[in-house]
Structure 1
């Protein structure tokens, strides 16, 4: 089974305004809302490609109820910890350009954290644990690293999508997969990464530091997979980017969802890139039809 953890989920409210003006009444032309959070995105895309998962994390209030009800209506299993405060609402204003407003989110109590640990005790050898997104101030910055170390020793395949010091700590504990983009790779090593050779060099260093598999996304230039001592490059399909949210999460879902069925890293990488692109080219997360349409355009080459 795949378990996804979203520590600070949200309702993502998207508002479109044609001619936004400060200090005046602005009428919304179109709005939409979705359950948000990186782990939740992974569960939703896994569900789209026919792979079951359990969505874990913290939710509270009417906003949390909306997230749980929406996921369960889509057929996704949830086991959230209920908290006292309301789950946050994040706003994306689209008015020619995009402006984002992200709330801080609720404060977690020691009891909340103990309840999440209790739910994680259900994990067994061979399961996948996806840890994605930022760590709230209520939790130690080593939270992902601690979970990686604990469950890696039990035979759980831990996938982490994080950045900065959090990622650096995780890598030392031998995660199954990490997925930095090239900017996050630069931040990790404190260097300016400008060329493909730079990315290859530092991607290999991430493997040397302890990660079993590494995917580095390079926006419109594709992605690189580092696995079993080899490096593979994927091209990206042609299309117009209309959505900046969830592409990386979709890539993670495409990879582990395919790997769990095929046990083939190269096929999983190909589907991952198609899935991430399908989200980038869509208003919401990727559809199965869009993924299938783009898959043939993703070419994998060993470097």
Structure 2
């Protein structure tokens, strides 16, 4: 077995050696990602195992022409400042919380967390209680009717809904995040005030995927590569997310929650019971409290994606 690194900007890892469909894509590997070759497959395809940036047990098929051999003692790319220096210094950041004017019923204040005093939270006393309370949160957010998430002619609000969903579940997903200059100051242990447009900026779905890859581990997120695992974790009452980056940086990506199955709401499954399409809840061009009819992140619109579970 030998180590190789990805030379393409984005290389799709698949469950079978076939590029005629995207339904077999299990991950998109970034440039420089290290993998270990396990075996040859069909002509032009190798079976590889991830060596960094994911579960080391994750294996799949990749086009071998986009891999370059590295020396046996080669190490993964040096961790970024964020990973090596800032992880212990950077904390979750919000604009002012508990503003009672920020509600589901208004279109203003979307950069702020929901402030309604009656908002529900996740019951973590058991897996069953957590799953049931997640459905209560989805019902309360009422994405199909709430003005806060209603699309208009120029904008959709998948990131707002995903943030609110995580916020009520007691999980950090940034609505705003520190600017580059603020991160430098934090690395120098300087106290940084929260100032919109100066020290913090709003994140769209494209930037949320980057945040997951760079910061997710530090805030309790774990990347997974299997839809069965993703749906199973959601069914246990964990917070699960799918996020994808648009091929066009001037267009927004997309983000949605994967939610627990119930007696009335189910994932779409294959005849053998495996998950074909997970049960999702989202805002977007069409807002859907529940749906399981699209593998949207595998479309040509998106260049990269990830599945994430909060531990």
Query: Which structure is richer in relative contact order (CA contacts within 8 A, separation 6 or more)?
Result: 2
TM-score (normalizing by structure 2)? 0.24
Larger-Rg structure: 2
Instruction: With the length of structure 1 as denominator, give the TM-score of the two structures.
Output: 0.24
More helix by share: 1
